[in-house]
Amino acid sequence: MFNFTGKVLSLTAASLMVTTAIASAQSADLIAAAKAEGQLTTIALPHDWCGYGDVIAGFKAKYPEITINELNPDAGSGDEIEAIKANKDNKGPQAPDVIDVGLSFGPTAKADGLIQPYKVSTWDSIPDSAKDAEGYWYGDYYGVLSFEVNKDLVPNVPADWADLLKDEYKNTVALAGDPRASNQAIQGVYAAGLSKGAAAGEAAGTAGLEFFKELNAKGNFVPVIGKAATLAQGQTPILITWDYNALSGRDTLNGNPPVEVVVPKTGVVAGVYVQAISAFAPHPNAAKLWMEYLYSDEGQLGWLKGYCHPIRFNDLAKNGKIPQEMMDKLPPAAAYEAAVFPSLDEQAAAKEAITKNWDSVVGANVQ
């Protein structure tokens, strides 16, 4: 193939140039369309969760023409789904454009017609096991359930789930969400069930309920949605939460009080969260641009800075994109060797058992 200067270009190089030009044009069109919409509505993105504060700030700095309307930062995955359902015909500020939910909520939202497909430009570097083949949802980051412990109030730090049943932990143990709606809390109950030796799926969900029934009966369980502030105040001295939230909370509290983050010896459950765009998004182009930002190297490193393992972690590491100082702040790899990644079927079975039977088995109104 020849160009007008007579220099020879390989077909491969020429194709690459054409592909790049098309991609650039598409990107420019998307940016223009998103800016024209002028707004993006998110939901359930607390700034201390997974580095979201810096991620949101990064998007705002890159696209200052787009206002981010943040709904209910402390909502759970179930609340996000309900927000889409409740606002199907509403193009106002209460209608979310995008959601960030637990893995099991992705397929159900697709089946219910609540989300729309969109494949980001870095699609190929997202593992196949962590995305819907048609692009309706895809993994964004993952972590493992851990214990975030206020060492001023809990000098003997628990090492495993069974330790939480000890008498010395009365009125100390809390979940970081309502297990009837929050994926994080549901996974906490599930992890407790696995630690008892139950089989993955419904059995582990049921065993987890029995664990929390005992924990509640002993007076060790605190029915409060825990966060860094309640931990620091002594209301929830031991908080069952994703490791990235615990590590972020430790940094935020900065030694006041001193915090230790423990990955339990058993029942180490890794949870993948997924992103999706509402099928009824009032600002669909801004939503797509947000997704492009989240799955860019910059967005992925923003999550890693917040102690989450971004879904493109292996691709970033392979290409030398991760700063060493960022790697040095992560927990040692050995703590994660026992981690299990529940399948969608296992999660769905456990979720149903936990959400439907929490009230009747445990009887603690978490709020």
Write out pLDDT tens, residues 220-242.
999 999 999 999 999 999 999 99
pLDDT band at 330 (very low <50, low <70, confident <90, very high): confident
- pLDDT over threshold 50, residue 250: yes
pLDDT band at 343 (very low <50, low <70, confident <90, very high): confident
End-to-end distance of the chain based on CA atoms, in angstroms?
67
How many other C-beta atoms are found inside a 10 Å radius of the C-beta of residue 93? 12
The CA distance from 311 to 129, in Å, is: 11
Alpha helices, DSSP H only, in 141-283? 183-195, 202-217, 228-233, 243-253
Mean pLDDT along residues 333-359: 87
The CA distance from 237 to 199, in Å, is: 30
Mean pLDDT along residues 122-135: 93
Q: Which residues pair with 241 in a beta bridge?
A: 146
Please report the pLDDT score of residue 126 as a whole number.
93
- pLDDT over threshold 50, residue 9: no
Mean pLDDT along residues 1-27: 48
- Give 122-125's long-range contacts (Cβ < 8 A, gap of 24+): 122/295, 122/296, 122/312, 125/312, 125/315
Instruction: Write the pLDDT tens digit of every residue in 253-275.
Output: 999 999 999 999 999 998 889 99
Mean pLDDT along residues 271-291: 97
Mean pLDDT along residues 31-56: 96
Secondary element (H or E) of residue 146: strand 138-150
The CA distance from 97 to 73, in Å, is: 14
Please report the pLDDT score of residue 3 as a whole number.
35
Please report the pLDDT score of residue 329 as a whole number.
79
- pLDDT over threshold 60, residue 7: no
Q: Tell me the pairing of strands 115-116 and 173-175.
A: unpaired
Tokens encoding 261: 């983050």
**What percentage of the chain reaches a pLDDT higher than 70?**
93
**What percentage of the chain reaches a pLDDT higher than 90?**
77
The helix/strand count (H/E) of the chain reads as: 13, 10
- pLDDT over threshold 60, residue 213: yes
pTM of the model: 0.74
Given the structure tokens 């009824």, which residue do they identify?
280
**Residues 287 and 277: beta-carbon distance below 8 Å:** yes
The CA distance from 133 to 124, in Å, is: 11
| Residue 305 φ/ψ, nearest 5 degrees | -60, -30
Q: How wide is the angle at C-alpha 273 spanned by C-alphas 128 and 48, nearest 5°?
A: 140
Please report the pLDDT score of residue 87 as a whole number.
97
Higher pLDDT, 334 or 204: 204
- pLDDT over threshold 60, residue 20: no
What lies within 8 Å, CB to CB, of 208 at 6+ separation is 188, 189, 190, 191, 192, 193, 194, 196, 198, 350, 354
Q: Which residues pair with 144 in a beta bridge?
A: 270
- pLDDT over threshold 70, residue 98: yes
Query: Which of helix, strand or coil describes residue 82?
Result: helix
- For 85, counting Cβ atoms within 10 Å of its Cβ (0-12 exposed, 13-18 middle, 19+ buried), the class is exposed
Instruction: Write the pLDDT tens digit of every residue in 141-162.
Output: 998 899 999 999 999 999 999 9
- pLDDT over threshold 70, residue 337: yes
- pLDDT over threshold 60, residue 140: yes
- pLDDT over threshold 70, residue 243: yes
DSSP state of 161: G
Please report the pLDDT score of residue 10 as a whole number.
47
Instruction: Write the pLDDT tens digit of every residue in 48-67.
Output: 889 999 999 999 999 999 99
Alpha-carbon distances of 282 from 38, 41, 106, 139, rounded to whole Å: 11, 8, 20, 23
